[in-house]
């Protein structure tokens, strides 16, 4: 649980930092460029630990899906949406991430959450969609649609990475995933920089871009994937129901954004669903540990 929470804590600053970075960088640079920064850090970690830079061929396809999903996929869609909505608004919609992750976990990881789990997530889902509709004057706006698509994409990336982390460990998975996705993220970032060069770059904008590339994109995912591998994708994934409140706090503290009564109530309701579902059992295909057994398995695969 601790590793999962550390990942969520890191992710919770993503939207405020993205908004701050877009003061100087266009959203494509922010959304795709963060994956390039993360890949550079991941490569440094692998080299420092004397690991191979490229993954085993058997894992390449899954790593590519995970890397594109959590890197340029989620990052780019989220950055484009945050050009039109506040970080505070986007924060509440992130309450849907556990639902997306749980849904993909059922399909891909063989996990079976109990009815109470789905009931709790269903309440959170209803609150988030209702909030978005009210804020949009009775309909979902295009930025909300982008955020919803990014959440589904993120759920795919979380699940694929969590499955792989059972064998290879969280830090290997995110490092490899970002490296193998470079053929997508790097050209997109270069083209975006050429077509829309950074403007009036401030220290704050540069620091914000560096943050989302280093922490949520790389170090946060090291902890997050390891947590998913240890505790189960659906079970640990629900910790992200606490992310909206954390992001609201960071948005107020770092950006000075205002939190309306409606936004605060929606965030509180989403967090409340966490308490309802936190003790509900989630059946997994087999409990795994991150101890010597996992490391041995990973080393055996790496040697083949």
DSSP code of residue 1 = -
At 290 the three-state DSSP class reads coil
pLDDT band at 285 (very low <50, low <70, confident <90, very high): low
Q: Are strands 112-113 and 282-283 parallel, antiparallel or unpaired?
A: antiparallel
C-alpha–C-alpha distance, residues 93 and 118, integer Å = 18
C-alpha 185/C-alpha 172 separation (Å) is: 19
Number of domains observed in the structure of the chain: 1
Task: Kindly state the percentage of the chain with pLDDT values over 70.
Answer: 88
| pLDDT tens column, 136-155 | 777 778 898 899 899 899 98
Note down the domain range covering 86: 2-303
Instruction: Express as a percent the part of the chain with pLDDT over 90.
Output: 51
Cα dist from 180 to 60, 146, 234, 253, whole Å: 8, 25, 26, 36
What are 165-177's pLDDT values in tens digits?
889 999 999 999 9
Higher pLDDT, 265 or 273: 265
CA distance 231 to 282: 10
pLDDT of residue 188: 97
Are 95 and 244 spatial neighbours (Cβ–Cβ below 8 Å)?
Answer: yes
Taking alpha carbons only, the member of 195, 231, 192 closest to residue 79 is 192
Q: Residue 112: enclosing H or E segment and its boundaries?
A: strand 112-113
Q: Strand, helix or coil at 38?
A: helix
pLDDT (0 to 100) of residue 241: 72
Average pLDDT over the chain reads 85
- 71, pLDDT greater than 80: yes
Is residue 158 within 8 A of residue 104, CB to CB? The reply is yes
* Average pLDDT score over residue span 259-269: 87
pLDDT tier for residue 293 given thresholds of 50, 70 and 90:
very low
- 191-199 long-range contacts (CB < 8 A, ≥24 apart) are 191/28, 192/26, 192/28, 192/29, 192/32, 192/33, 193/29, 193/33, 196/26, 196/28, 196/29, 198/24, 198/25, 198/26, 198/29, 199/24
The answer, yes or no, to whether residue 303 has pLDDT greater than 60, is no
């Amino acid at each position: 649980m601790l590793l999962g929470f550390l990942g969520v804590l890191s992710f919770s600053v993503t939207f405020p930092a993205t908004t701050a970075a877009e003061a100087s960088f266009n959203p494509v640079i922010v959304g795709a460029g963060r994956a390039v920064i993360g890949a550079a850090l991941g490569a440094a970690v692998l080299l420092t630990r004397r690991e191979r830079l490229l993954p085993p061929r058997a894992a390449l396809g899954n790593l590519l899906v995970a890397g594109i999903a959590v890197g340029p996929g989620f990052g780019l869609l989220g950055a484009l949406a945050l050009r039109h909505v506040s970080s505070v608004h986007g924060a509440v919609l992130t309450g849907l991430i556990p639902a997306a992750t749980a849904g993909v976990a059922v399909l891909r990881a063989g996990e079976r959450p109990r009815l109470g789990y789905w009931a709790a997530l269903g309440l959170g889902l209803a609150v988030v969609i209702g909030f978005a509709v009210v804020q949009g004057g009775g309909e979902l706006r295009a930025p909300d649609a982008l955020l919803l698509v990014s959440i589904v994409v993120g759920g795919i990336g979380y699940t694929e990475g969590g499955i792989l982390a059972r064998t290879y460990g969280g830090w290997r998975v995110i490092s490899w995933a970002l490296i193998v996705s470079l053929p997508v993220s790097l050209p997109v970032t270069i083209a975006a920089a050429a077509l829309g060069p950074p403007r009036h770059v401030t220290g704050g904008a540069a620091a914000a871009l560096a943050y989302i590339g280093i922490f949520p994109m790389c170090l946060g995912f090291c902890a997050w994937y390891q947590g998913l591998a240890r505790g189960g994708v659906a079970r640990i994934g629900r910790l992200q129901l606490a992310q909206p409140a954390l992001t609201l706090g960071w948005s107020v503290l770092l950006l000075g954004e205002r939190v309306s009564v409606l936004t605060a109530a929606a965030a509180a309701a989403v967090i409340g669903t966490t308490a309802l579902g936190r003790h509900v059992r989630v059946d997994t295909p087999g409990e795994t540990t991150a101890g010597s057994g996992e490391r041995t398995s990973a080393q055996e695969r790496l040697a083949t």
